[in-house]
Structure 1
Amino acid sequence: MNPSSSTITPDASPVEYTDDNIRHLSDMEHVRTRPGMYIGRLGDGKLPEDGIYVLLKEVIDNSIDEFKMNAGDRIEIDVEDNLRVSVRDYGRGIPQGKLVEAVSVLNTGGKYDSKAFKKSVGLNGVGVKAVNALSSHFEVKSYRDGRVRELTFGKGNIQNDRTAKSSDESGTYIYFEPDNTLFKNYSFHDDIVEEMLRNYTYLNTGLTIMYNGRRILSRHGLKDLLTDNMTVDPLYPIVHMKGEDIEIAFTHTNQYGEEYYSFVNGQHTTQGGTHQTAFKEHIARTIKEFFGKYEYGDIRNGLVAAIAVNVEEPVFESQTKIKLGSTQMAPDGESINKYVGDFIKTNVDNYLHIHKEDFTDILENKIKETERERKAMAGVTKLARERAKKANLHNRKLRDCRVHYCDVKNNRKEESSIFITEGDSASGSITKSRDVNTQAVFSLRGKPLNSFGLTKKVVYENEEFNLLQAALDIEDGLDSLRYNKVIVATDADVDGMHIRLLIITFFLQFFPELIKKGHVYVLQTPLFRVRNRRTKIKDKQVIADADAHRAKNEKKNDFITRYCYSEEERLAAISDLGPEPEITRFKGLGEISPDEFAHFIGPDMRLEQVTLHKNDQVSKLLEYYMGKNTMERQNFIIDNLVIEEDLPEEEGE
């Protein structure tokens, strides 16, 4: 037998397995041991999907459900020091006799009884219990019938229980502070919280939310949502319709692609689901039948729309409830597809006929323009698709990963990401140090084409753009997007910045929803490595504890290495590490070794999300920076150029 072959030798006895290995976890212990099952990712609060916002949402959802049952039209939310949260509603208050079970025993809650909560998001009896278990401090007060019962918990363990008389209005008060041993260095970001709360008010007209003393409300529901979120002007006034358990709003713009906001029982289903699919199908069909022609894709190009439905006992694809899996409006009711389709067919068709003179010419002109452009590039598109299909078999530009965002049942799909790099050198370093399960790499040849002002034909004519589109699989929208994070990784110099702008321009021009849905990021990489060859590793922990938020430390030959992302961090590192440190300036990503790069694209990598808001004036910014107004930019540079004069030599040099 070959001695190098894999065999089981007599000494390789199995690990002992006894009764002691069988453990039972309490409800709270299970949540703390497997938090990902209940809230998805942990995170530090920089991203909307981070766990601290799921905790906040779980608490607010209960208050929203009270509002939906016509019990309380005001919710007060305060975030103290970006760390601690209190939520007070004026609903019916949790029944006091079962208060302990309601906040600390899984699979316990009032929403199993559909008489008390007909169309709620949280039906599994998990939400607020997870908040309790994952908080270092948790308080709940239930005000009912002139009495208040107050409970205090620490990491899910009850610490105090008291009942007293109270003259306060009925309702529920919950205070929680996420456990910083789980949510390391976390912080609630005001803009993320406010966007979440605004979505609640769009879906619940008549509800007032007081957020840190500021009033948030909506008078026109989903119409307000589109008005507040659209970054380009609508071609015709927003069409807004409401029915029993359904509300829609839509318009067309001159942007490429489609843009959807969908909700179920107040939950923002960022990945869509059966209700969004039904809307897309039936809005296109109804408009096609009205005009008697045109293709669905041409009709939906430029469409910006929102849909909200209320469903009894909704089925989501995960505990984080971002994609609806239900096919029926109620257990014994009609299908979601038919319900949405019937509503759109009746109401949108009537609207088109009644308001034909107001906007249908504008809508038809938009559809015709899309049709002309599609036909003009039909030949190019076919060749490009064939080229992309062949390239996918062996795409030298793409080093793919195993887990993809469109993998419905993969619990790591949220981690799926792709790095867009410049040149083979940088892509080589990332490829060697990446996580092959969740991180893909796409290598650019050099500076891509400036796509501003060009038609979508360029996406198919330009090989690099076509292969990037194919790698992301976004030609027909984001439903099949293969990576949750699209990360632009370029050098921290002028050329790198230019390439970064060209890629972002490409997305803004042709796939704006990719940015609006929060999928595009810029990778922050260090500018300097500061290494102290005199300070032994025994001092490392002292320095790390004193400056953990600024430092990324690494053991290297028993000495301390500090990676710095700015001049301020470089100066701080020199101050901390003592005299005469070795300082290396990274001129490009290709200069960073794969061993070092592993630190910068790991779980703690620094990412800056590319955002797009209504007030960003995107068209004007792109016109100025990426357009052909060369003299205007040139004059600005000349007028604002700062020339650093040679500094005088220090005395003694």
Structure 2
Amino acid sequence: MSQKQYDESSFRVLKGLEPVRERPGMYTRTDSPCHIIQEVIDNAADEALAGFAKNIHVLVLRDGSFTVTDDGRGIPVGPHPVEKVPVVVLAYTVLHAGGKFDKKSGNSAYAFSGGLHGVGVAVTTALSQRVEVEVRREGQVHQIAFADGGRDIGKLVEAGSCGRQTGTRVRVWPDGKYFDSPKVPMNELERLLRSKAVLLPGVRVILEVEQADGSLVKQEWRYQDGLPGYLREMASGAEPITPIYASEKYAGEDEDFAVGEGVAWAFGWFDGIQLGESYVNLIPTVAGGTHESGLRSGVFEAVKSFIEHHSLLPKGVKLQQEDVCGKMSYVLSARILDPQFQGQVKEKLNSREAVKLVSTMLLHPFEAWLNQNVEFGKAIAELAIKQAQSRLKDAQKVEKKKSSGVAVLPGKLADCESENIADNELYLVEGDSAGGSAKLARERETQAILPLRGKVQNAWEIDPNRLFANAEIHDISVAIGVDPHTPEASDSVLDHLRYGKIIIMADADVDGSHIQTLLLTLFLRHFPRLVAKGHVFIALPPLFRIDVPAQGKKRPARRFYALDEGERASIRDRLIKEGFREEQLEIGRFKGLGEMQPAQLKETAMDPATRRVLPVTIDQGIDARTLALFDLLMGKGEASSRRAWMEAKGNLVEADL
């Protein structure tokens, strides 16, 4: 193996924007150009946050370029006092250059901005084929272009007068070679712009997208109502458990925080949904952070104090923060002087002081609101207490038996050899005796046998978390490779399914029918996607065997199987018509599967060519009538209703007693 030289010449110094071009993933997201466009939008939003811009306009053009325009003050174009280079050039070509750094001396352009943890709009220049900047400032229109990732810097020129108009227009052509996809996800861009409008009440935000025919499709957002209006829009259609509580609070001169720091919030509880969005100085923090921790802390302490004051907490229940906040929907906008983020794309706030800032600002106002609205306070308390009780119940959850993190297959399972799920079949067999016959009768390549001892527990009203306390149900779940789930679960719950067919095989008598019912109850209630996708079947073993003697050399002895009395009578009548006398027919009744010879069991219930197997299906999902009938038949508290139902319907049954 050749030895690579390692000496002074091995070191390389990357200058200017070269580090961004060499390792773009260190500075921005590389799945799409969305973040480098966001850097431009954030600059326009900072002008609006500072109170100088009232309009933000984004244009998406067919050639893949984007134009962002604002009516703020315009980027300074004069020479920097130290660098002697136009400030607009520094902003677009130098990392860590901008108007957000000199906060301590009071000479910063922005009291609050998207923070110093990212690299700013220079990363946009580095990863673009071309960037054009037009600045309207001090009565003049100034233009400059940056090409080839910032390597080619054009001249700053005056292009006319603009009167009293001010603002900045930036057009960006992202370089597709730096991104997995050259296209910006439009839903993500729309969500970003809508959030800017939400967080900047009264500011008009416009998105126009050029179509193939040259026309423009326009969307416009302006939220005079701010955060509560946005939260109501997000939760559209959901039933509110409490009204949205919205307010804001910012630090003054005599407080522990910097003047202007603070938070605006809107939160509430809705039936069946949980939504949450947070921002720091208008920057969306999709991964949350310390400001969200402060929100949860303040809400939890206020609700906990309310519950203690009104003596609402049941004995033995201890509240946790997640009990109160786990189902809370919120929009949170924090304003922090020097925010520190995790990662260059500012997805998560790391500023430790943000926890104290948000919780302190929110705690007392929310506590006062709860005590002024006792009815709503009690509704929140009831929701939290129920969640705590459910959590305590979940703590008793019985897990699958595992070894080295993998569920252990039941020892009594005789598994098949094939790994082709579509061909594989699992027989759930009543009793060890029948299981022994089935193991001898099976096709080892594709058929697996799981004997069940006695009757499976009625699982209709069992808590899903307690299912595995029953050994038989535990073994069934592990064997099929599917965990319990609800009817609303996605098909992904069947990703680890080990058998294409799960066949219930029980005796052809009343007890066998009861076992079938118990297993169908288990699958319908706790494994409904198995039934919905057609993976569950019922084997139909015969109740009677009819032996027919030979009639000469051309007609050897024959054997027929009948499922029930009616089929036995039909076969007997047909044979009598063929010329047999009734006393010639030898009719035997099976006492159970265990009595059948393996060859007979294979022929009647296991050989795909000769068996009779009934598929279990549900039309249009599990409807209310199906659930109501199972409630009646399997519910523990339905004994009287069941008796009345049997008295009314009992004459319709043909029972083999």
Give the TM-score taking structure 1 as reference length: 0.56
Superposed CA offset, 1:107-146 (max 9, x none)? 2111112231111114257221110110112111221101
Shift in alpha-carbon separation, 1:345–1:39, aligned structure 2, 3 A = same
Residue 150 of structure 1 contacts residue 163 of structure 1 at CA under 8 Å; is this kept in 2? yes
* Structure 2 Cα separation of the partners of residues 120 and 456 of structure 1: 54
- Cα shift readout 1:147-188 (whole Å, capped 9, x = no counterpart): 122111222223522223321621111110110222254222
User: Is this contact kept in 2: 1:290–1:352, CA < 8 A?
Assistant: yes
Alignment of 1:211-290 (within 5 A): 211-212=207-208, 213-230=218-235, 232-244=238-250, 245-255=262-272, 259-290=275-306
Displacement after TM superposition at 1:490 (Å)? 5.5
Q: C-alpha displacement at 1:460, in angstroms?
A: 6.1
Which of the numbers 173, 192, 215 marks the counterpart of 2:188?
A: 192
Partner in structure 1 of residue 573 of structure 2: none
Structure 2: distance between partners of 1:627 and 1:317: 46
Paired residue type of 2:264:
E
2:272 counterpart SS class: coil
Q: What residue in structure 2 maps to residue 441 of structure 1?
A: none
Helix, strand or coil: the match of 1:195?
helix
- Determine which of 395, 398, 403 is the counterpart of 2:406: 395
Can you list the C-alpha shifts for 1:14-45, whole angstroms capped at 9, x where unaligned? Answer: 212355433332322211111011103x12xx
Match for residue 68 of structure 2? 87
From 40, 44, 58, the equivalent of 1:63 is 44
Q: Against the structure 1 CA distance between its residues 157 and 285, is the aligned structure 2 distance closer, same or farther, given a 3 Å change threshold?
A: same
Q: Which amino acid aligns with 1:284?
A: F
Counterpart code for 1:241 = S
Cα distance in 1 for residues equivalent to 2:171 and 2:492 = 36
1:203 aligns with 2:199: yes
Matched residue SS, 1:247: strand
Greater shift in the superposed pair: 218-227 or 63-72: 218-227
Q: 1:346 aligns with which of 342, 364, 367?
A: 364
Query: Match of 1:192, as an amino acid?
Result: E
SS of equivalent to 2:131: strand
CA contact (8 A) 1:151 1:158 kept: no
Q: CA deviation at 1:276?
A: 0.8
Task: Give the corresponding residue for 2:34.
Answer: 53
Within 2, Cα distance between the matches of 1:299 and 1:456? 27
Q: What amino acid maps onto 1:224 in structure 2?
A: G
Give the superposition deviation at 1:259: 4.1
Residues 625/167 of structure 1: CA separation in 2 closer, same or farther (3 Å cut): farther
CA 1:121/1:458 → structure 2, altered by over 3 Å: closer, same or farther? Answer: same
Q: CA deviation at 1:101?
A: 1.0
Q: What residue is the counterpart of 2:132 in the other structure?
A: 139
Relative distance call for 1:31 and 1:487 in structure 2 (3 A) is farther
- Structure 1: gaps (5+ residues): 1-11, 44-50, 329-335, 398-422, 428-453, 468-485, 497-504, 507-623, 633-653
Name the CA distance, whole Å, in 2 between partners of 1:339 and 1:264: 12
The residue type paired with residue 311 of structure 1 is I
Cross-structure match for 1:126: 119
Cα offset, 1:360, TM superposition: 2.8
Match of 1:321 in 2: 346
* Deviation (angstroms), 1:342: 2.0
For residue 73 of structure 1, what is the amino acid of its counterpart?
Answer: K
The 1-side partners of 2:466 and 2:198 are apart by 38
Q: Secondary structure at the match of 1:223?
A: helix
Using the alignment, how far apart are the partners of 1:456 and 1:187 within structure 2?
Answer: 50
Counterpart of 2:27 in structure 1 is: 38
Shift in Å at residue 93 of structure 1? 0.9
Map 1:296-375; keep pairs closer than 5 Å: 296=320, 297-328=322-353, 336-357=354-375, 359-374=376-391
| Aligned 8 A contact 1:107 1:124 in 2 | no
| Alpha-carbon shift at residue 396 of structure 1 (Å) | 4.6
The match for 1:382 among 356, 374, 396 is 396
Which protein has the larger Cα radius of gyration, Structure 1 or Structure 2?
A: 2
Cα gap change, 1:69 to 1:629, in 2 (>3 Å): same
Instruction: Say what the alpha-carbon RMSD is for the aligned residues.
Output: 3.8
Contact 2:276 2:330 in 1 (8 A): yes
Amino acid at match of 2:16: D
Tell me the alpha carbon deviations over residues 549-600 of structure 1, each in whole angstroms, 9 at most, x when there is no partner: xxxxxxxxxxxxxxxxxxxxxxxxxxxxxxxxxxxxxxxxxxxxxxxxxxxx
| Structure 2 unaligned residues grouped into runs of 5+ | 79-86, 209-217, 251-261, 314-318, 409-417, 423-459, 469-473, 479-490, 502-524, 527-618, 628-657
Residues in 2 aligned to 1:204 and 1:461: alpha-carbon distance in whole angstroms: 51
Q: What is the CA-CA distance between 1:306 and the residue it aligns to?
A: 2.3
Q: Which amino acid aligns with 1:138?
A: V
* 1:490-509 mapped onto 2 (5 Å cutoff): none
Task: State yes or no: 1:156 paired with 2:153.
Answer: no
The counterpart of 1:117, out of the listed 103, 110, 113, is 110
Residue 426 of structure 1 and its aligned partner are, at CA, apart by 8.3
User: Match of 1:273, as an amino acid?
Assistant: G
Compute the displacement of 1:311 (Å): 0.8
Paired residue type of 1:200: K
Distance in 1 between the 2:5 and 2:37 partners? 43
Change over 3 Å in CA distance of 1:276–1:70 after alignment to 2: same
Deviations 1:192-212 (A, max 9, x none): 211111111111112110111
